[in-house]
Structure 1
């Protein structure tokens, strides 16, 4: 078969609903499964879960073992590995990324304004961020970031493209995770602005969780 994405075979196998479909997918991916050492006899439909587990184990564990061992050997050269193993807590802050605690200022600086904004709506946005930070909103800072970008924290390498905001004459905000943009509603009062922001963000995230749960069940 042609070039195979890491998760494509796993998804195809996992979503097979009968043995005919399952065997068809396995035959299609035969060369790939043989290459990574995951060929196994499938006698029942439930065997597909063990096959998917084997595929994921290969990519997450076995495939990175050689590079990982090479990395360890490099650390041993100057005695760094020994120090890490002796003082793991001291090296944790250096080697492990810890998500930055989100605040009103961080989100305010994170989102750039690419178009001429509505001054009042932008003022409402700044007030809203402070309201959320003070715990006086139904949403959290993480909710806002997820709504606009799909991420609950700022990645170590930052976002690409840079998160942006614009203001439009609409009732509710719109988050576009493809380009990390947030469209703010233009309302007459701050109360209406906050209620609409809270409603849209919370319901969008709730629907997203329900869809994810439904997918996992199947």
Structure 2
């Protein structure tokens, strides 16, 4: 019984008492605008804003990014259209677990965040293209929320292989 009591006390300390001052300060801040009382009386109205409830989907990621295309009608634009088609297929494959990379891995690679914040990112994530670079792998700038896609791939299978390898083996600053 003493062992169980000790385990219970340690759990309570780590789960509540250790962070209690921060929680109380947070509650005081919410009380400033009477938000805390509204939260208590209408928790369902605040759930989507305060809690992450949805999994990331390929559709979510597709809508999240602004694509920085070259001039319409240019040869670069034609290549970019092909690469964006590959990108969309890659996201679907990640969602369907066809690759060893998950959509969560993709968003971490690009933004260093595990999920899309409930109110969105402070800046719009972007997709750019690596035209002047013969690299096979994607590059990301997690501060700018930007992924640069390689344009040297003419087949989806090669694109998918190098994207999965690059994202799956990059656990530091987004250089594959």
- TM class by shorter chain equals 0.5 to 0.7
Residue 69 (structure 1) shift: 4.5
Matched, 1:184 2:149: yes
| 8 A contact 1:149–1:181 mirrored in 2 | yes
Q: 1:30-49 counterparts in 2 under 5 A?
A: none
Quote the Cα distance in structure 2 between the aligned partners of 1:103 and 1:197.
18
Partner of 2:81: 119
CA RMSD of aligned residues (A): 3.1
Structure 1: tracts of 5 or more residues without a match = 1-56, 209-218
Q: 1:97-176 counterparts in 2 under 5 A?
A: 97-116=51-70, 117=77, 118-169=80-131, 170-176=135-141
Partner of 2:169: 203
| 8 A contact 1:166–1:182 mirrored in 2 | yes
Quote the Cα distance in structure 2 between the aligned partners of 1:172 and 1:98.
31
Report which of the two has the higher share of helix: 1
Partner of 2:14: none
- Which deviations, in whole Å up to 9, do the C-alpha atoms of 1:19-51 show, x marking residues without a partner? xxxxxxxxxxxxxxxxxxxxxxxxxxxxxxxxx
TM-score (norm 2): 0.68
Residue 151 (structure 1) shift: 0.7
Aligned length: 144
Structure 2: tracts of 5 or more residues without a match = 1-17, 71-76
TM-score (norm 1): 0.56
Quote the Cα distance in structure 2 between the aligned partners of 1:63 and 1:104.
36
Quote the Cα distance in structure 2 between the aligned partners of 1:91 and 1:111.
28
- Which deviations, in whole Å up to 9, do the C-alpha atoms of 1:119-146 show, x marking residues without a partner? 2111111111111111101101111011
Residue 70 (structure 1) shift: 7.0
Quote the Cα distance in structure 2 between the aligned partners of 1:77 and 1:130.
42
User: Which one has a bigger Cα radius of gyration?
Assistant: 1
Residue 99 (structure 1) shift: 4.3
Instruction: Identify which of structures 1 and 2 has the higher relative contact order when contacts are C-alpha pairs closer than 8 Å and 6+ apart.
Output: 2
Quote the Cα distance in structure 2 between the aligned partners of 1:137 and 1:94.
30
